[in-house]
Amino acid sequence: MRRYLPIVLASVVVLLGAVWVVSEKKSVPKQEPQQKQVAPLCPFGDSFQKEVSKSPLPHFLHTLKLPQPFLIDLSQKEHRGLALYYGRGLRHLLHPKVWERYGHFSTYVLDKEGNLYLTPMPFISIEPQTFAWQKAIYRLESQTGKLKPWRILEEVEASASNPYGVTSIAYDKHDHTLWVGTLNGSTYTEQKGVIYHIDIASKRILGRIEGVDALSLQLLQGKQQRWLLIGSARGGELLAYGLECQEGVNTPQKLFSLPNTQMQIRKMRVIAPNTLLLETIPFSYTLITQSAKEDRVRYIAKWYPQRQKWEISLQMNENVTK
């Protein structure tokens, strides 16, 4: 028996060690990722410039020899789905019935080949297909003008308690990819939105940013690096995600909240050096329409790199009467 003593002793030591390790590991409090107060890896401090969009218009417009200018209309006021006005005074309309097939759209981007990518939008009243339509990113083919679902995100589940799915989109011309924001699954108490980074050529998901409800997305070329700006669906916040930060540690960082936190950023663009124009709407994850002109409020967000400070002001020109 004595000759097995080392084996028995070793087994006992390992067993005791295992009991200790398991109990210790269980007693270590689990850190909620969202509660970590980690300083951003690459804090936003960049100056930025206005970038000229070089995306061409869909090629089929040239094939059809339609005269410029063009206006892509997703307002849903006159036409369901996608409508395109063209010609002098934008008096002519292109709106094939098939462009109504997938319900209503909220926003779009053009890629370097003139393909138009659209995000869906639930609208009054709910139709049997409404929730299913919220799963997809749609593409209007540059060559043919055909509109069809381009990439379906199966995990996106719109529902009666949150009818929103795919909501926001931005095109990254540097690597020919899309950034796509979803709001699905988010509740009053929890933010479960995901931003997907999708390669256009392969339709493969390259990465995900979780726990962010993005109502709008915009790429920003800073002096030092590129940023993904995120208009949060809550709290009137603008977030920034450094695209050249180390993977895994990087999280979106809050740049500022709007003075009125009931307004959420629906559109944004750079209008001058270090200056953003923000178009905001009151957004409540319901189907109430509050995107009419009188509901929209525009803000100017000016960044002062030397002072590392944002200044937010209302853009009032539209409302003032003299």
Partner 1 sequence: MVKEQKGRKMQQENKIALGILVGGVVALSLYWFLPTSSPKPIIKKVEQEQIILPKEGRVHHAKIPEVEAYLEQLSALMRRGEAVIPLGEEELESRSKRVQTFLLKNPQFLADTHHNKQLLHNDMMRILPALVGSIPERFQQQCKAHHCYEAQKYNFVTNTTTKALVDSDTLSLLSLERYPQMQPDISLRLTHIAQAIALASEDVKEALGKTPSFKDMTMANVRGTMKESPCQNTSHLCVAPTFSDHHAQKALWAVVDLTELRLAAAKWAGLGKTTTPACISERALQNRYIMKHFCQKDTLLKRNGWEISYRLTGSDGLEVHHVSFNGKPVLDSAKIVDWHVSYQEKGGESLDTSTQSYIEGRRVEFRKEEDGNYLFGYNDAMGCPLFSTSVVLAFNAPQIKPLPFGDGFMLTQDFRNPKWPMACNYRYENRFEFYNDGSFRVVGVNKGRGCGDHAIYRPVMRIDVNLGAEEKFYSATQEGWREWLVEGSEFVPTHTTPYPYKITSASDVTRGYKIEPNHGQFHDQSRGDNATLFVTHFHPNEGESDLLTLGSCCNLKEDGVERYVEDNESIDAKKIVLWYVPRIYNDSKKGEEYCWADSIVDDSGNIEVKVWPCTVGPKFIPLKGAE
Beta bridge partners of 148: 139
Contacts of 90 (CB under 8 A, 6+ apart): 69, 71
Q: Are 136 and 169 in contact (CB under 8 A)?
A: no
Reading the block at residue 312, the tokens are: 């937010």
Question: From residue 148 to residue 177, what is the string marking binding to partner 1 with x (rule CB under 8 A)?
Answer: ------------xxxx--------------
Sheet holding 166-172: strands in order across?
166-172, 177-182, 194-199, 205-210
Contacts of 311 (CB under 8 A, 6+ apart): 301, 302, 304
CA atoms within 13 A on the CB side of 89: 2
Q: For partner 1, which is the closer residue by CB, 48 or 102?
A: 102
**Distance of closest approach, residue 265 Cβ to partner 1, in angstroms:** 15
Q: Which stretch binds partner 1 (CB under 8 A): 3-11, 40-48, 145-153, 214-222?
A: 3-11
187 is a site residue for partner 1 (CB under 8 A): yes
129 is a site residue for partner 1 (CB under 8 A): no
Q: Are 138 and 102 in contact (CB under 8 A)?
A: yes
Among 6, 29, 89, 248, binds partner 1 (CB under 8 A): 6
Residues 234-273, interacting with partner 1 (CB under 8 A): 234, 257, 259-262
13 is a site residue for partner 1 (CB under 8 A): yes
Reading the block at residue 234, the tokens are: 């809550």
Give the other-Cβ count within 10 Å of 270's Cβ: 17
Strand, helix or coil at 189? coil
Contacts of 6 (CB under 8 A, 6+ apart): none
67 is a site residue for partner 1 (CB under 8 A): no
Q: For partner 1, which is the closer residue by CB, 154 or 294?
A: 294
Q: Which stretch binds partner 1 (CB under 8 A): 59-67, 173-181, 268-276, 313-321?
A: 313-321
Q: For partner 1, which is the closer residue by CB, 56 or 282?
A: 282
Which positions lie near partner 1, rule CB under 8 A?
A: 3-4, 6-7, 9-11, 13-14, 17-18, 21-22, 25, 33-34, 76-80, 95, 100, 122-127, 160-163, 186-192, 194, 210-212, 234, 257, 259-262, 284-292, 294, 297, 314, 316, 319-322
